[in-house]
Amino acid sequence: MSDMPQNTGAFHNIYETTLEPDTTKSMLHEGGESGEGFMQRFEVAPGIQITYNDLKMDSCFRPIRFEKDFLQINHCLEGCYECELDGGAVSFLGEGDLCVNYLSKDKQVFFGSRIPLKKYRGITVLLEMETAQQTLDHGFQQAHIILRNNL
């Protein structure tokens, strides 16, 4: 594992999981030279959270290696967001777009990001793979939802 910082900035707290669902939302805030942003985080079940993002900044990027595996689903309501991915590819999320990412434990996935219009409002559904799978197995057995296929 690299000597890269693990959690630098309030927004990376969305990748910290709890064992019990939080009955109240938490508000995360970051601000500085590039602007400011807010995230309202709702823990809806163990391993499953929804975050409302309201960012008015150039970027909120900081390198991070995840301690667990996550499935991240983003939907852009307004503005846009760009991410530079491993290998130099760029992912662009514009108004109305939906993006699904697998965030692998101990692997740097994102190498940069920017908010070209200095405005991004969107929703993130974040599933911590192991805990969310247990929640789905116990609470939604009839649906047979499998987050990971180990073929």
**81-111 pLDDT, tens per residue?**
998 887 888 889 999 999 998 888 877 777 8
| Residue in the structure block whose two tokens are 């150039």 | 58
Residue 42 lies in a domain: yes
**Residue 67 belongs to a domain:** yes
Residue 27 bridge partners (DSSP): 40
Asked whether residue 3 is assigned to any structural domain, the reply reads no
**Cα separation of the two ends of the chain:** 26
pLDDT of residue 22: 47
**Residues in the chain, total:** 151
CATH of the domain at 18: 2.60.120.10
Q: What is the pLDDT of residue 4?
A: 35
pLDDT band at 19 (very low <50, low <70, confident <90, very high): very low
Domains held by the chain: number: 1
- State the residue range of the domain holding 30: 10-143
Please indicate, yes or no, whether the overall pTM of this predicted structure exceeds 0.95.
no
Rounded to whole angstroms, the Cα distance separating 68 from 132 reads 12
